[in-house]
Amino acid sequence: MRFKGKVVIVTGAASGIGREIALSFAREQASVVIADIALDQAEKVAQEAEAAGGKGIAVKANVSSGEEVKGMVQKTLEAFGKIDVLVNNAAWWPVKYFMQQSEEEWDRQIKIIYYGTLYCTRAVLEHMIERKSGVIINIISDAGRIGEPTLSVYSGAKAAVNMFSKALAKEVGRYGIRVNCVAPSLVETPGAQSFIEKIGKDRLVRAYPLGRLGLPKDIANAVLFLASDEAEFITGQTLSVNGGYLTVC
Ligand SMILES: NC(=O)c1ccc[n+]([C@@H]2O[C@H](COP(=O)([O-])OP(=O)(O)OC[C@H]3O[C@@H](n4cnc5c(N)ncnc54)[C@H](O)[C@@H]3O)[C@@H](O)[C@H]2O)c1
């Protein structure tokens, strides 16, 4: 029960990896804010979090709106009184070659992935700096470390989050706040389903030395480790969780 009494915000937690992260914290008796644009789904996850042994509330928040993000943080503080952990997980990505993407699609990706991370981070930092404690974990992607065709704008936005995280870790370490990234490769989630179907799962799996694609629990396990006191001396780092698909120095 590493997170008993801890308060955790997970964005994009109504589905896929975010949902599993939220439920994994709840299983360790954390109070979890399930923040998402899909409120009905988020409410179901909040119920699952309660059933798993934690506390859960659903909050409708579009992370690409600074105002909605402020509201999310306000609701968290009203419900639970503090914030220990923020997981910036919400994202959206069209799988298309760069020349097929519209400017609206660029905007949407960059606003959710990069601005969303900036808005959420700023909103919780005001509170974390005052308390001189906190953990921020940003879910990036191996695409943001090596670049993936058909995910060029997404790769760039994730790379921006990666470098922002490293710089921020150096700024806020003196307040006892840690900032790290987790980088999945392909994970079986609703968001990745059309891509997996398009390329074919058997073909994709061949690129994974451990012989399977990622599962949401693989990512959640890494996030909980980085959020825990076991990782108290780890900040400014990026952990790829990918079955050996990508190995970087
Ligand atoms: N699935 C993969 O293969 C994979 C690989 C690498 C990285 N990732 C990263 O993992 C994270 C989760 O991906 P997933 O596969 O679980 O995605 P998903 O599509 O299954 O879930 C994403 C969630 O984010 C929510 N969301 C979308 N826009 C939002 C917004 N503006 N504000 C708030 N919530 C919003 C959606 O409603 C959804 O519930 C993302 O950051 C993604 O980039 C996923």
Residue at 129 is within a domain: yes
Single-letter amino acid code for the residue at 126: E
Gyration radius of the chain's alpha carbons = 17
> Residue 195's pLDDT is what?
87
Confidence of residue 1 (pLDDT cuts 50, 70, 90): confident
- When pLDDT is averaged across residues 11-18 and rounded to a whole number, the result is 98
Q: Which of 154, 175, 208, 245 is an active site residue?
A: 154
Q: Would you say the C-alpha torsion 160, 19, 44, 121 has a positive or negative sign? A: negative
- For ligand 1, atom 19: residue with the closest CA: 191
Single-letter amino acid code for the residue at 1: M
Give pLDDT tens digits for 128-160.
999 999 999 999 999 999 999 999 999 999 999
State the distance from the centre of ligand 1 to the C-alpha of 115, rounded, in angstroms.
Answer: 15
Look at the chain and report how many structural domains it folds into: 1
Active site residue 154: yes
Q: Which atom of ligand 1 is closest in space to residue 65's alpha carbon? A: 31
CATH number, domain containing residue 199: 3.40.50.720
What the block records as the tokens of 175 is: 């307040």
Q: Which atom of ligand 1 is closest in space to residue 12's alpha carbon? A: 24
Give pLDDT tens digits for 224-249.
999 999 999 999 999 999 999 999 88
Residue at 184 is within a domain: yes
State the distance from the centre of ligand 1 to the C-alpha of 33, rounded, in angstroms.
Answer: 16
> Residue 198's pLDDT is what?
86
Q: Would you say the C-alpha torsion 56, 57, 62, 65 has a positive or negative sign? A: negative
What the block records as the tokens of 75 is: 């609701």
Residue at 46 is within a domain: yes
- When pLDDT is averaged across residues 167-184 and rounded to a whole number, the result is 98
Confidence of residue 11 (pLDDT cuts 50, 70, 90): very high
Q: Is the pLDDT of residue 121 over 90?
A: yes
State the distance from the centre of ligand 1 to the C-alpha of 230, rounded, in angstroms.
Answer: 27
Residue at 127 is within a domain: yes
Q: DSSP class of residue 111?
A: I
| Conformational region of residue 134, where left means phi above 0, alpha means psi within -120 to 50, and beta covers everything else | left
What are the C-alpha distances in Å from 118 to residues 63, 79, 165, 176, 247?
A: 9, 23, 10, 19, 28
Residue at 121 is within a domain: yes
Residues within a 6 A CB radius of ligand 1: 11-12, 14-18, 36-38, 61-64, 89-92, 112, 139, 141, 184, 186-187, 189-192
Q: Is the pLDDT of residue 125 over 90?
A: yes
Q: Which atom of ligand 1 is closest in space to residue 68's alpha carbon? A: 32
Residue at 190 is within a domain: yes
Residue at 106 is within a domain: yes
Give pLDDT tens digits for 30-88.
999 999 999 999 999 999 999 999 999 999 999 999 999 999 999 999 999 999 999 99
Predicted TM-score (pTM) of the model is 0.98
Mean confidence (pLDDT) of the chain: 97
> Residue 209's pLDDT is what?
97
State the distance from the centre of ligand 1 to the C-alpha of 62, rounded, in angstroms.
Answer: 12
> Residue 213's pLDDT is what?
98
Give pLDDT tens digits for 176-198.
999 999 999 999 999 999 889 98
- What is the helix (H) or strand (E) element at residue 37, kind and residue range? none
Residue at 2 is within a domain: no
Residue 54's domain comprises 7-241
Say which residues have a Cβ less than 8 Å from residue 86's Cβ, sequence separation at least 6: 8, 9, 11, 120, 121, 124, 134, 135, 136, 137
